[in-house]
């Protein structure tokens, strides 16, 4: 089945620094990847849609200069939280969408718990 690898699973960083999170589709090509944020005991909120070779589409209220998304290849998207602050602490989840083949649909990464101190 489809597998999406997300790294790191946990990261602690100092306020003001930047953190990069990687999302890789391991056995399929994903022209579209999605980045979500999940607050404790809440649902997943879509932050942005990442399209290979083009600029990401951000949801309303999400700062594109703060959450930089790069989708350089059909199997890799990265989310960089720039100048992180404690309020950015959250659980970030990526999802890759396969559009053909037996793995059609959305597959989720295992998430990254970011703690900004």
Per CB under 8 A, residues contacting another protein are 32, 34, 36, 41-46, 49, 93, 95, 97, 105-111
> Smallest distance, Å, CB 15 to another protein?
27
CB nearer to another protein: pick between 6 and 78: 6
> Smallest distance, Å, CB 110 to another protein?
4
Distance between CA atoms of residues 82 and 25, nearest Å:
24
Q: Is 95 exposed, middle or buried (0-12, 13-18, 19+ CB in 10 A)?
A: buried
My answer on whether omega of the bond before 8 falls inside 30° of 0, hence cis, is yes
CB nearer to another protein: pick between 75 and 112: 112
């Amino acid at each position: 089945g489809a597998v999406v690898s997300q790294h790191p699973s946990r990261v602690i960083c100092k306020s003001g620094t930047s953190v990069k999170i990687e999302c890789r589709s391991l056995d399929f090509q994903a022209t579209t990847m999605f980045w979500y944020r999940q607050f404790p005991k809440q649902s997943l909120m879509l932050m942005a849609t990442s399209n290979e070779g083009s600029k990401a589409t951000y949801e309303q209220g999400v700062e594109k200069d703060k959450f930089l998304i790069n989708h350089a290849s059909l199997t890799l998207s990265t989310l960089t939280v720039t100048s992180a602050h404690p309020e950015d602490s959250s659980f970030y989840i990526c999802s890759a969408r396969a559009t053909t083949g037996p793995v059609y649909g959305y597959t989720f990464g295992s998430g990254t718990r970011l703690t900004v101190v």
